C-alpha cells in the first residue's frame, strides 16, 4: 500500500467544479515539492478516492479545502489545516508548504474532547463564520439535486400546456400530470432536506433525524427556505446541547442515547421551538418573496444589477450562493423568472474569458488561451468556476469587469420576462426556457462586454509587466559597462531640480507641471514638445511603479542636457501602478535625443536605489529638498 506524506479532502456545495479544481491544484503543488499526496473528493457523484484508516494514520498532515462537511473527526491526532475550497484552488503551494514545514500548524483534537473544538484545534481560514458556512453548504449540496430534478420534471409537464396537470383544464394530459406531481414531491423535499443536512453537519446522525422532523414543521408551516436554514441550525445545536447534558452517562448506554434519548428529546425541543417560530418566519419569508417578485416587474434594471454583482463577485462563494439559494427557493414556489437572471449572471463570466482571449491573444499565455477556449464549454453548462483563475490574475480590475457582463445579462433577462425552470444545466435546459434565443443572446452580449474589458485590462497589464521587466533587467545588463560615473546621479540632479509640497489634481496636471518646470530650469527650449513626449511615453505603458512612486521620462531634441527632476506632492494623485496605490513621489528624467544609453544608465541607478526599503522609507519621510538631494547622492546601489 502506498504511504502518502500528505492527505487532503476537497468539496464544494454543488460538487461540480471547485471540488476537482482544488484537487488538481493540491496535487500539482505536492508534485512541485516532490511529496506524495492523496486527495479525497466530495462531489455530486459522491465521495471518491476515499482515505483509508491506514492512509490517515501514516500521513504527515491533513489539508481540508472544503465548504461542506467531510467528516473531519476521523483526522483527530493529525496536524491539520482547514480552509475554504477557494483557498485550495488559489493557494495550494502555500498550504502544502505549511503542512510540511510549519511547526505552528496545530494538531486536531476532535470534537469529542471538551477542551478543544474544531475551531481551536485546527487551523481554519475564517474561524466561526467559515464553520457556519460549511454547515449551511452541506445542506445546500444535498438539496440541490432535488431542486434540479423537481424543477425539470415540472417544466417538462408544461410542454402539454401551462395547465396540463389540472384535470379540469382542456389542456389536461395524464402523463403531464404525473410529471408535475413527481416533480412537485421532489421540490417539496427541499426545505426538509436542507434543514436535515445542515443539522447533520453539526450533530451527525442524531442531527439528521432531528433536522428532518424540524424541517417538515418548517415546510408545513410555510416558512420557506429561511425556516429550513434556521431549523437546521436549531436542530443541530439542540443535539450538541443534548450531547453535553448526557455526556456523563456510561458509554455502555451510548446506543440508548443515539436511538432513544437524542431523537425523542431533540425532535420535541427543536420541533416545539420551530412551531412557535413559524409564524414570524412565515411572515418574513412571504415578505421577502413578495419584494423580489415585485422587483422583477417594477425594477428589473436594479434587480439585474444587484444579481449580476452578487453572482460575479466571488463565483461560488457566500455572496454568489446567497443569490443562487434565493433563486432555488423561488423555483420551489413556481417562480421561474428570478432563476433565469441568476443563471445568466453565472454563465456569463466563463464565456467572457473565452471572448477575452479571442479579442487579445497576445495578452495571454498559451495555457490561459487554452483555458479560455475550454470555458466556452464550461460556461455553456453553467460551470462558473473556470473564470476564477482569470479573476485572480488581477482581482481589483477583473472582478468589476465580470460584474458588468453579468449585470447586463441578468438585467436584459429580467426585462424580457424570460423563465428558466431548472437551477442548473446552462444551455442544456434550453428546451425548457420560454425564450431560448433571447436568453442565449443576452448572455452572449454580457459575455462580450466583459470579454472586451478583460482584454483591455490584460493588454495594459502586459505592457506594464514588460516595462517592469525592462527596468528590472537594466541593473543586470548595465553593470558590465566600464563607466563608473553612470551610477552617480550628481551630474543630473541639483537642489534646484527638487520641489516639495507640489499641488496638482491629477496625472495630466502633473505632467504639465513637469514640462513647465523643465522650461523654467532651462532644461528644454520647448515646453510643449516635452509635454507631448511625456504623454507619448505614458500611452505606451504607465510609468507608475509601486509604493506611491512614478518615473515619467521624456527624450527630445529640444532638451539641452540630461536632467533629473524630483517632486513630492502635497496630496497623492491617481496613477496606474503595479500595486494600485496613488502616487505622491515623482522622479522624472529628461534626456537629449541622442544615440547613447545615458538615460538607461540613470534609470538603472535609480531603480537600484528603489529596491532598498530603507531608502524608500527615508525618501517618503522627508519633504526637505536638501535631505532628498543628500539621500540620492550618498546612497549607492
Catalytic (active-site) positions: 12
CB of 200 closer than 8 Å to CB of 188: no
HSE-CB for 514 with a 13 A CA cutoff: 31
Helix, strand, coil share (%) of the chain residues, nearest 5: 65, 10, 25
Q: What is the dihedral of CA 522, 528, 531, 533, to 10 degrees?
A: -100
Element (H, E) at 46: strand 46-48
Instruction: Name 566's Cβ contacts closer than 8 Å, sequence gap at least 6.
Output: 493, 497, 498, 499, 585, 586, 587, 588, 628, 632
Supply the angle between the helices 395-415 and 436-477 in degrees, to the nearest 10.
Answer: 170
Distance CA 569, CA 586 (A): 8
| Edge-to-edge strand list for the sheet holding 46-48 | 46-48, 37-43, 6-11, 61-66, 79-83, 123-124
Element (H, E) at 340: helix 337-359
Distance CA 211, CA 263 (A): 10
Cα maximum dimension of the chain:
98
Q: Which three cell numbers stand for residue 131?
A: 464553520
Distance CA 128, CA 116 (A): 14
Q: Which three cell numbers stand for residue 24?
A: 488538481
Angle made by CA atoms 155, 161, 162, in degrees to the nearest 5: 65
Distance CA 591, CA 600 (A): 10
In the block, residue with C-alpha cell 552617480: 488
Residues in the chain: 637
Amino acid at each position: 500500500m502506498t504511504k502518502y506524506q500528505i492527505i487532503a479532502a476537497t468539496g464544494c456545495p454543488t460538487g461540480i467544479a471547485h471540488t476537482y479544481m482544488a484537487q488538481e491544484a493540491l496535487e500539482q503543488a505536492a508534485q512541485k515539492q516532490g511529496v506524495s499526496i492523496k486527495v479525497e473528493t466530495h462531489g455530486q457523484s459522491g465521495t471518491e478516492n476515499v482515505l483509508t484508516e491506514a492512509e490517515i494514520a501514516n500521513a504527515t498532515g491533513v489539508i481540508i479545502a472544503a465548504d461542506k462537511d467531510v467528516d473531519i473527526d476521523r483526522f483527530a491526532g493529525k496536524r491539520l489545516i482547514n480552509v475554504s475550497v477557494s483557498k485550495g484552488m488559489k493557494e495550494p503551494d502555500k498550504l502544502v508548504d505549511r503542512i510540511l514545514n510549519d511547526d505552528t500548524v496545530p494538531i486536531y483534537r476532535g470534537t469529542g474532547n471538551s477542551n478543544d473544538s474544531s475551531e481551536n484545534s485546527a487551523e481554519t481560514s475564517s474561524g466561526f463564520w467559515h464553520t457556519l458556512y460549511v454547515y449551511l453548504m452541506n445542506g445546500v449540496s444535498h438539496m440541490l439535486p432535488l431542486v434540479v430534478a423537481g424543477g425539470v420534471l415540472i417544466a417538462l409537464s408544461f410542454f402539454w400546456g401551462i395547465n396540463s396537470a389540472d384535470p379540469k383544464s382542456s389542456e389536461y394530459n395524464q402523463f403531464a400530470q404525473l410529471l408535475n406531481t413527481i416533480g412537485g414531491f421532489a421540490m417539496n423535499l427541499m426545505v426538509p432536506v436542507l434543514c436535515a443536512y445542515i443539522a447533520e453537519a453539526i450533530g451527525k446522525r442524531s442531527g439528521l433525524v432531528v433536522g428532518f422532523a424540524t424541517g417538515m414543521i418548517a415546510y408545513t408551516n410555510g416558512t420557506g427556505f429561511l425556516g429550513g436554514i434556521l431549523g437546521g441550525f436549531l436542530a443541530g445545536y439542540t443535539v450538541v446541547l443534548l450531547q453535553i447534558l448526557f455526556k456523563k452517562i456510561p458509554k455502555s448506554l451510548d446506543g440508548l442515547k443515539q436511538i432513544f434519548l437524542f431523537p425523542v428529546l431533540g425532535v420535541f425541543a427543536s420541533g416545539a421551538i420551530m412551531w412557535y417560530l413559524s409564524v414570524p418566519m412565515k411572515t418574513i419569508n412571504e415578505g421577502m418573496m413578495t419584494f423580489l417578485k415585485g422587483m422583477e416587474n417594477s425594477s428589473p434594471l436594479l434587480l439585474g444589477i444587484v444579481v449580476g454583482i452578487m453572482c460575479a463577485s466571488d463565483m461560488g462563494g457566500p455572496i454568489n450562493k446567497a443569490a443562487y439559494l434565493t433563486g432555488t427557493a423561488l423555483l420551489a414556489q413556481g417562480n421561474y423568472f428570478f432563476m433565469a437572471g441568476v443563471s445568466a449572471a453565472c454563465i456569463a463570466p466563463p464565456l467572457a474569458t473565452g471572448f477575452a482571449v479571442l479579442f487579445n491573444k497576445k495578452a495571454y499565455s498559451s495555457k490561459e488561451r487554452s483555458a479560455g477556449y475550454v470555458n466556452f464549454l464550461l460556461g455553456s453548462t453553467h460551470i462558473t468556476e473556470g473564470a476564477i483563475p482569470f479573476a485572480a490574475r488581477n482581482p481589483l480590475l477583473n472582478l468589476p469587469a465580470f460584474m458588468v457582463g453579468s449585470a447586463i445579462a441578468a438585467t436584459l433577462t429580467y426585462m424580457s420576462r424570460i423563465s428558466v425552470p431548472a437551477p442548473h444545466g446552462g444551455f442544456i435546459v434550453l428546451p425548457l426556457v420560454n425564450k431560448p434565443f433571447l436568453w442565449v443572446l443576452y448572455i452572449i452580449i454580457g459575455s462580450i462586454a466583459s470579454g472586451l474589458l478583460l482584454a483591455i485590462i490584460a493588454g495594459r497589464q502586459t505592457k506594464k509587466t514588460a516595462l517592469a521587466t525592462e527596468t528590472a533587467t537594466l541593473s543586470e545588463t548595465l553593470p558590465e559597462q566600464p563607466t563608473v560615473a553612470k551610477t552617480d546621479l550628481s551630474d543630473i540632479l541639483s537642489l534646484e531640480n527638487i520641489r516639495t509640497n507640489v499641488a496638482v489634481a491629477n496625472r495630466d496636471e502633473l505632467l504639465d507641471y513637469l514640462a513647465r518646470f523643465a522650461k523654467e530650469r532651462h532644461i528644454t527650449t520647448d515646453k510643449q514638445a516635452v509635454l507631448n513626449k511625456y504623454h507619448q511615453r505614458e500611452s505606451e505603458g504607465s510609468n507608475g511603479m509601486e509604493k506611491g512612486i512614478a518615473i515619467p521620462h521624456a527624450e527630445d531634441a529640444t532638451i539641452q542636457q540630461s536632467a533629473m527632476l524630483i517632486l513630492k506632492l502635497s496630496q497623492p494623485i491617481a496613477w496606474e501602478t503595479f500595486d494600485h496605490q496613488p502616487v505622491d513621489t515623482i522622479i522624472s528624467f529628461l534626456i537629449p535625443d541622442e544615440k547613447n544609453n545615458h538615460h538607461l544608465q540613470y534609470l538603472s541607478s535609480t531603480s537600484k536605489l528603489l529596491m532598498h526599503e530603507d531608502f524608500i522609507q527615508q525618501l517618503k519621510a522627508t519633504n526637505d529638498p536638501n535631505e532628498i538631494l543628500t539621500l540620492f547622492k550618498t546612497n549607492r546601489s
